[in-house]
Structure 1
Amino acid sequence: MTNEALRSVLALACSAFVSCVLALAVASPASALELRGHKDRLFAYPGILSVSEDGAFVVVDYDKKRDIHRRDQEPERRVRSRYVSLGVKRHSRIAEHQANGRAIETGVVGDFAAARFTVIFVHGRGGDQRLGMNDYTFGGNFNRLKNLMIANGGAYLAPTITSFDDTGAQDVKALVLAGPAPVVLACASMGSIICAKLARDPAVVSRLAGMVVLGGAPDTGISRSAAVKARVPIVFTHGSEDSVYAWQSQKAVFDQVRATSANYPARFILFDTGSHGTPIRMTDWKTTLEFVLSR
């Protein structure tokens, strides 16, 4: 057996072991949840380099050549067709939600009024609803998220946020409170400022099923927030070579959150050699949503 073949076998064995560890850490008989999948093999984490004893901190293998150049037809612009399923477009539209005297342009997938749960994606600086609705960028990961929502009776919202201050936070709050279903609030990059603000708002927290912070700005105040006091599940995903927000600073926030109570439902997924945009491309939405929704 060649060294390369041996490494492949060991990587598969390690990934299988870690999957078992994570399954035990995430689910209990009373709270286990399994969503219907969509292209799970294509979007599963490509390899696990290490995992903490309790399964809360996981380091995932990331390879730019494999995960961008082999995956994309045009690197960072258009993923190969096998990663997308465009039937979800039948369930998609652009809407304007009226709140706070403003029209919030929002990409919508699924039946928001009848959804079992809703994911609201908050983009970072320079983005708008088009980023979260694009089927082909970021390795097709938004397309997969949208398909997961339809397959599981959920809804997905991708609003345009014009500012990351109290005004932007109030607009996202209006969307959280507008629907009947529990909400998973997913915030990328500077959009995480919105997550941090809303984590302090008891009215929002009462509607949250969980939060996902993708390459976000560290905020040590989250550990004292209403969301953490309510034990809202939080998943942090980050690239180890993020030049915008250092992963060590975000890991410190994660550690503070975990220290607030025994077995706090938080996870940190670190993409080894990943950059600032890697979490949007590489986060496995099925396992992430199963974790937060099982609580």
Structure 2
Amino acid sequence: MQMSTADFRIAAIFCVLVPFLSASLARAETLAPYKDDLFSGQTVLETADDGDFTRVDYQELRDINGRDSIPERRVKDRYVSLKVRRLQENQTLSLSTGPLEVARVGADAGQAFTVIFIHGRGGDRRLGMNDLTFGGNFNRLKNLAADNGGTYYSPSVRSFNEPGVAEIAALIDHAAAQSGGRPVVLACASMGSFICWGISRDPKAVAHLSGMAVLGGAPDPDLPKSAAAKAKLPIWFTHGSRDSVYAADDQIAIYRKLRKAGEPVRFTLYETGSHGTPVRMSDWRALLNWLIR
């Protein structure tokens, strides 16, 4: 079968354009680097489960004392860019459950994706907006969202039981509506993980999510039976091996059950890390690139 001149020209144009189109699509699905040399160059001590499980080197002298100008209170200047504060706003959203105080970085509508961070006990919306503590990791998250057309919400959670879960379900619904149905990632730290587990049982909220990140969270034995598991919602756990609040082995056991059932899960274990280590060390760009689908 012979190709006509017109067919040949069309095929030639197609061959030239496809690489550029593919690259454009790849870029649209991936967050651009932001200070990766400072945050992403973590030493992997062990990998398992085809790379889904990683054990990462953590050293307090290097990762706290060497990173902070005042340990645990102020990170060194090179780890942060405070220009993102110009895109930051405190809001009281009127949701179906009532008013909810949030801090927001990025657009109020039309965002390419949304990240919602849930603090632990004793926190409020200020924790997830703190640029200078936790080694500058929240500042990196804020800049990643802003630089890639996303929106980052840090709400004040008033309770970690059913009313708090309902409020965050309403915020997820709000974010999905404001963005036109684009991806929403829910990230929960420490006791905030009870919000993630409550959301995991809500099929409507799960339908709006593209993934979850759980940082030093409590294990949920019922997670493998949840609506999130049935929907195969991607979940990435990060945990310190010496967490004295929620034992790492208990969380790893949940990860193993989910993975055995064919769920899309990943686990990063910070060797010698404590309860707060995942908030300081979790590589937000890696997490979001995997969770934003």
- The TM-score normalised by the length of structure 2 is 0.87
User: Tell me, what secondary structure is at the counterpart of 1:184?
Assistant: strand
* 1:1-295 equivalences in 2 (<5 Å): 33-100=29-96, 102-179=98-175, 180-261=181-262, 264-293=263-292, 295=293
How many Å separate the matches in 2 of 1:225 and 1:240? 26
Q: Cα distance, 1:172 vs. partner?
A: 0.6
Structure 2 spans left out of the alignment, 5+ residues? 1-24, 176-180
Q: Using the TM superposition, give the Cα deviation of residue 131 of structure 1 relative to its aligned residue in structure 2, in angstroms.
A: 0.3
CA deviation profile, 1:4-54 (whole Å, cap 9, x unmatched): xxxxxxxxxxxxxxxxxxxxxxxxx99994311110110014211000151
- 1:51 aligned counterpart, secondary structure: strand
Q: CA deviation at 1:100?
A: 4.6
- CA contact 1:45–1:284 (8 Å) conserved in 2: no
Asked whether the equivalents of residues 220 and 256 of structure 1 are also in contact (C-alpha less than 8 Å), the reply is no
Shift of 1:103: 2.0
Q: Hey, what's the Cα distance between the residues in 1 that align with 2:28 and 2:57?
A: 27
Question: Which one-letter code corresponds to 1:66 in the other structure?
Answer: R
Stretch deviating more after TM superposition (190-199 or 175-184): 175-184
Q: Secondary structure at the match of 1:206?
A: helix
Change (3 A) 1:149 1:56: same
Q: Where has structure 1 moved over 6 Å in runs of 4 or more?
A: 29-32
Once the 2 structures are TM-superposed, how far is the Cα of residue 109 of structure 1 from its aligned partner? 0.4
Q: Give the counterpart letter for 2:33 in structure 1.
A: G
- Give yes or no for contact 2:97–2:170 (8 Å, CA) kept in 1: no
Q: CA RMSD in A?
A: 1.6
Contact 2:115 2:153 survives alignment (8 Å): yes
Partner of 1:22: none
Q: How many Å separate the matches in 1 of 2:159 and 2:49?
A: 40
Larger of the two Rg values belongs to structure: 2
Deviation at 1:265, TM superposition (A): 1.7
Q: 1:101 to 1:205 in 2, by over 3 A?
A: closer
Q: Distance in 1 between matches of 2:26 and 2:112?
A: 19
Q: Secondary structure at the match of 1:35?
A: coil
Q: Deviations over 1:210-256 (max 9, x none)?
A: 00000000001111111111111100000000000000000011111
- State how far apart, in whole Å, the 2-side matches of 1:265 and 1:252 are: 15
- Secondary structure in 1 aligned to 2:116? strand
Q: Is the Cα–Cα contact under 8 Å of residues 52 and 58 in structure 1 kept in the other structure?
A: yes
Could you tell me how far 1:160 is from its partner in structure 2?
Answer: 0.2
The 1-side partners of 2:128 and 2:77 are apart by 18
1:24 equivalent in structure 2: none
Is the 2:117–2:153 Cα contact (8 Å) retained in structure 1? Answer: yes
Aligned residues: 264
The code of the aligned residue for 2:244 comes to S
How many Å separate the matches in 2 of 1:168 and 1:138? 25
Tell me the SS of whatever aligns to 2:51.
Answer: coil
Q: 1:16 matched to which residue of 2?
A: none
Shift of residue 105, structure 1, vs aligned partner: 0.9
The one-letter code of the counterpart of 1:196 is: W
Gaps of 5+ in 1: 1-28
The answer on whether the counterparts of 1:132 and 1:158 sit within 8 Å (CA) in structure 2 is yes
